[in-house]
Structure 1
Amino acid sequence: MALMTERTLVLLICVQLLVLVLLYQVSYDHETAHYENTFWKSIAIATKINKAIRAVSHYKQKLPDCPRTSQLTGGPLNISFPLWLNMKQVEQKHLLVRRGGSYSPPNCTATYKIAIIIPHRNRMEHLTYLLYHLHPFLQRQQLKYRIFVIEQAGNYTFNRGKLLNVGFKEAMKHENWDCIFFHDVDLIPEDDRNTYICDLFPKHASIAMDKFKYRLPYKHFFGGVSALTPEHVEKINGFPNSYWGWGGEDDDIATRIKLNKMLVARPPIHIGRYKMISHKRDKGNEKNPERFQLLKNATLRWEEDGLNNLEYILLSKKNNHLYTNITVDIGTSKGLQLYR
């Protein structure tokens, strides 16, 4: 409905301008008395059109607020990974999503504004499946949202924490989001009652993955999918930039939360369920042999390793149909590499 309203406004304005131009042209071809009469007729028509525009605009502004708890969610979901699926087919399925992967409920004003940050490299198949499931999942929750895919350029060692920091910085340039979801590309939520909104404390959403037999692998686990307000992110100085390769950065984040005297919020274990897309370990994302030593020093390092020492080069920003793709050079452990 909101989309149709905007189109109606544009159409009405165009009609108004066309009527004024045509009537003005006709009036020039007649005598002065008739010109005056035509002029006032055009003013009357323009006034009526303006009233219609104001009425439509007023209607648009008066959309009711969306409920805090959506009535469109249905609970457990049937998650599948069709072999025939491609990104073009997913795009055709989600015509209400605007370029850049943004969406607002058409029949009500969203209560929450959410940004989804997905670190990514060489995982287009996984991204296709995630977007196939995630867009309708978020829409049933009646959220205003935008999906950002942060792509690491080059073939150097992957750095999830640094990409999450980049995603936060770039997403906040678009909107003052209420909540930021940091989302691994290979995890699909299995229950749409797992609401993608923030809590009083940082939230760990993926509490029960099929990989771990739907149990929390250890008490302080904070990996996979998490949600923080912008204030939470700033308070913990974002994510660590120093973890190159797989492992350790999510435990570092949990340490930062604890050091800042915050608890971790979690959904019930039967709701916070996720299915992981099976895959082999990526080249360039091997286990980080330094992760345990870095974790030992996390309490000493967190105030100097994060948002406040983040360096990257923005290579491109593209508004694809289903997501905003941000490609960045985050360099290596030895410094930035230029890909321009």
Structure 2
Amino acid sequence: MRISRVKTLRLSYPYYLTILLCIMFVFSASLSYYILINDQCNCSGPVNQIKYTTPSRKKLISTKHKLAILVPYRNRFEELLDFVPYMNNFLSNQRINFDIIVLNQIDQYRFNRASLLNAGFLETRDNYDYIAMHDVDLLPLNMNLSYKYPEQPFHVAAPTLHPRYHYDKFIGGILLINRKHFELVNGLSNRYWGWGLEDDEFYVRLKDAHLNITRPVNITTGTNDTFRHIHGKDRKRDTAKCFNQREVTRRRDRQTGLHDVKYEIFGRKRMEIEDSPVIVINVKLHCDLTATPWCNCDKKAETNNSANKKKT
């Protein structure tokens, strides 16, 4: 009798094991289904307060051309703090492939916007298809102001839109030009030390090369709300004219330009301002005191130059 009962139990064990496995399978499947249909965010705050990681700017690019924003610069730190984050957002929204490159003049001479742009172009032309000659104190407010690749020179800060300068030949502030055309006109003149007139001379270069300067169309904003001009009234412009500067710089310069700009690079730094990337290039310009003595307009320099002329 004892032997018979043990045999019966041994024969029943596989049967009960099979039933147990079936029950476990059904329970697991039911639990998984319940979790799936009731899956919800167990967040600590409202859904609209969840912060998502912004996609990389490079993933947003839809254009094959790359833009170098060349910013001639000296001692304008507060404007730069506004400029870099603002332009990064503005151009990213237009899906432009770009870098902001600040050309920081570190020599003792007067500011030379044109030579800085020439130097900046030479330092970047192998990696960019077009440049923006961009003032640090001028911010576009209207998103319809396009920074796309220009087939012809494109003056973004048109005289009908700029808050300050309204004459027809004005091409300052913000000008886009492709690499081929900038090389065609030999860049800008290197004779313009101090403030002003280098863009007027560049206008003549573009016209002499039979290039068509284009400007924004169908812009509904005007001179008061198309740009933000952040140049403070307390900041004085270097408008001094010394030696024979006035006489020389009123004429078209056919001698100097991209081919003969003299400069040295004293470092390149990649920085971020409010998470917006910027490249700062320290540029030391060289001045030929014989050709352009007005690169230094202090009285001592002018006196010495006059004495040298008398000796000659």
Quickly name the TM-score band, shorter chain normalised: 0.5 to 0.7
Partner of 2:266: 315
Query: Hey, what's the Cα distance between the residues in 2 that align with 1:141 and 1:280?
Result: 32
Do the aligned partners of 1:156 and 1:284 also contact (CA within 8 Å) in 2? no
Query: Hey, what's the Cα distance between the residues in 2 that align with 1:293 and 1:169?
Result: 29
Do the aligned partners of 2:191 and 2:249 also contact (CA within 8 Å) in 1? no
- 1:188–1:284 CA distance, 2 compared to 1 (3 A): closer
- 1:160–1:95 CA distance, 2 compared to 1 (3 A): farther
- 1:257–1:107 CA distance, 2 compared to 1 (3 A): closer
Report deviation, 1:187: 0.1
- Based on CA coordinates, which of the two structures has the bigger radius of gyration? 2
Q: Are 1:211 and 2:163 an aligned pair?
A: yes
Match of 1:183 among 105, 110, 134: 134
Q: Are 1:194 and 2:194 an aligned pair?
A: no
- 1:107–1:307 CA distance, 2 compared to 1 (3 A): closer
Partner of 1:294: 248
Report deviation, 1:107: 4.6
Partner of 1:148: 101
**Mapping for residues 85-164 of structure 1, pairs under 5 Å:** 103-104=57-58, 106-107=59-60, 109-164=62-117
Query: Hey, what's the Cα distance between the residues in 2 that align with 1:231 and 1:291?
Result: 31
Report sequence identity in percent.
Answer: 30
Report deviation, 1:179: 1.7
**Mapping for residues 67-82 of structure 1, pairs under 5 Å:** none
Residues 107-160 of structure 1: per-residue CA shift (max 9 Å, x gap): 554333111000000001001111121111000111111110000003421000
5+ long unaligned stretches in structure 2 = 1-52, 296-312
Do the aligned partners of 2:141 and 2:227 also contact (CA within 8 Å) in 1? yes
Number of aligned positions between the proteins: 230
Query: Hey, what's the Cα distance between the residues in 2 that align with 1:222 and 1:288?
Result: 22
**Mapping for residues 49-64 of structure 1, pairs under 5 Å:** none
Once structures 1 and 2 are overlaid, which stretch shifts more, 150-159 or 237-246? 150-159
Do the aligned partners of 1:162 and 1:239 also contact (CA within 8 Å) in 2? yes
Do the aligned partners of 2:263 and 2:284 also contact (CA within 8 Å) in 1? yes
Tell me how large the CA RMSD over aligned residues is: 2.7
Report deviation, 1:209: 4.8
- Tell me the TM-score normalized by structure 1: 0.62
**Mapping for residues 14-29 of structure 1, pairs under 5 Å:** none
- Tell me the TM-score normalized by structure 2: 0.67
Do the aligned partners of 1:236 and 1:260 also contact (CA within 8 Å) in 2? yes
Query: Hey, what's the Cα distance between the residues in 2 that align with 1:204 and 1:210?
Result: 11
Letter in 2 for 1:211: P
Report deviation, 1:231: 0.5
- 1:107–1:133 CA distance, 2 compared to 1 (3 A): closer
Report deviation, 1:254: 0.2
Query: Hey, what's the Cα distance between the residues in 2 that align with 1:287 and 1:276?
Result: 23
Match of 2:190 among 241, 247, 252: 241
Letter in 2 for 1:195: S
Once structures 1 and 2 are overlaid, which stretch shifts more, 275-284 or 201-210? 275-284
Do the aligned partners of 1:247 and 1:288 also contact (CA within 8 Å) in 2? no
Do the aligned partners of 1:134 and 1:188 also contact (CA within 8 Å) in 2? yes
- 1:136–1:288 CA distance, 2 compared to 1 (3 A): farther
Residues 5-61 of structure 1: per-residue CA shift (max 9 Å, x gap): xxxxxxxxxxxxxxxxxxxxxxxxxxxxxxxxxxxxxxxxxxxxxxxxxxxxxxxxx
Letter in 1 for 2:286: G
Residues 151-170 of structure 1: per-residue CA shift (max 9 Å, x gap): 00034210000001111111
Task: Report the secondary structure of 1:319's partner residue.
Answer: strand
Task: Report the secondary structure of 2:163's partner residue.
Answer: helix
- 1:288–1:159 CA distance, 2 compared to 1 (3 A): farther
Query: Hey, what's the Cα distance between the residues in 1 that align with 2:235 and 2:112?
Result: 12
Do the aligned partners of 1:204 and 1:222 also contact (CA within 8 Å) in 2? yes
Q: Are 1:331 and 2:286 an aligned pair?
A: yes
